[in-house]
Amino acid sequence: MFQGSFVALITPFDKNGKVDEAAFARFVEWQIREGTHGLVPTGTTGESPTLSHAEHKRVVEIAIEVAHRRVPVIAGTGSNSTEEAIDLTRHAKKAGADAALIVTPYYNKPTQEGLYLHFKAIADAVDLPIIIYNIPSRCVIDMSVETMARLAKHPNIVGVKDATANLTRPQHVRRACGPDFCQLSGEDHTALTFLAAGGHGCISVTANVAPRLCKELHEAWQQGRVKDAVAIQDRLLPLHDAMFAETSPAPVKYAASLLGLALETCRLPLAPLSEATRNKVRAAMTEVGLLN
């Protein structure tokens, strides 16, 4: 259903810390011009935990309005409250999203049965394709392959964003859920290896500032040009390293500011970047060829 390079969109803020709607609209348009295969607003990279519900919904609406069906939009609608997740997913469907990205419930630490019931409740409530977002490093829970296979039987649950960095996982998921269950990597560093293990694409942080290179990597892979894909991944490596030198999305927002795409402002509790990380980001951008 979904394949290639999807960008985990940043949410630009103005100098007063408010959502900069005009900058976000321009950023989405630039992403599409650069060839990004799809858009993912209001995820972790979009600082969704610090957005009000009204801001969250408006950011989703802008992405959909600007995309205007040129590329798919997978709206982040997750919450550790099932009712909140249902409300945000209903809004995404009404706004015209192509799918919803729903993170495993953080902080609550549900059992595997709790995970199953949470996602089933959302899928039963909203007729919209759902991508499970499994990111144990942030949520402190890992959805098992067995639980995912149970959920994959639901017609509205169509795939996973896998940020486990476990490269045996896509093979087990493919075996348990079938080849049509969409597997998108959530790890830029391992995106190419994930494709080789049976994945379909990547929801990328790096694509915020290198959308053309990221989409070229996926297109090279899809066309069987493996050496070209490896060469692009090698070229992107220092940028991947820099994007995660401190907690994301602070580095990528600084990188976007260097390109004049948005201010580097993040909302607390994310701190401004250290000078050492700023230097690392700038050096990586220069090495990759994004800055003169």
Tell me which residues are annotated as active site: 133, 161
Q: What is the DSSP letter of 274?
A: P
Question: Which two three-digit tokens encode residue 180?
Answer: 């049509």
Full DSSP string of 140-205: S----HHHHHHHHTSTTEEEEEE-S--TTHHHHHHHHH-TTSEEEES-GGGHHHHHHTT--EEEES
What is the token pair recorded at 112? Answer: 């595997």
CB atoms near residue 75 (< 10 Å): 32
| Residue for token pair 């995309």 | 67
Between CA 45 and CA 195 the distance in angstroms is 22
Distance from the Cα of residue 204 to its chain's centroid = 6
With CA atoms as reference, report the closest residue to 33 among 289, 285, 155, 215.
215
- Dist. CA 13–CA 262, nearest whole Å: 8
Instruction: Quote the CA–CA distance of 83 and 287 in Å, as a whole number.
Output: 46
Torsion of CA 51, 52, 57, 59, to 10 degrees: -30
- Residues facing residue 203 across a β-bridge: 6
Residues 6+ apart with CB under 8 A from 251: 242, 243, 244, 245, 273, 277, 281
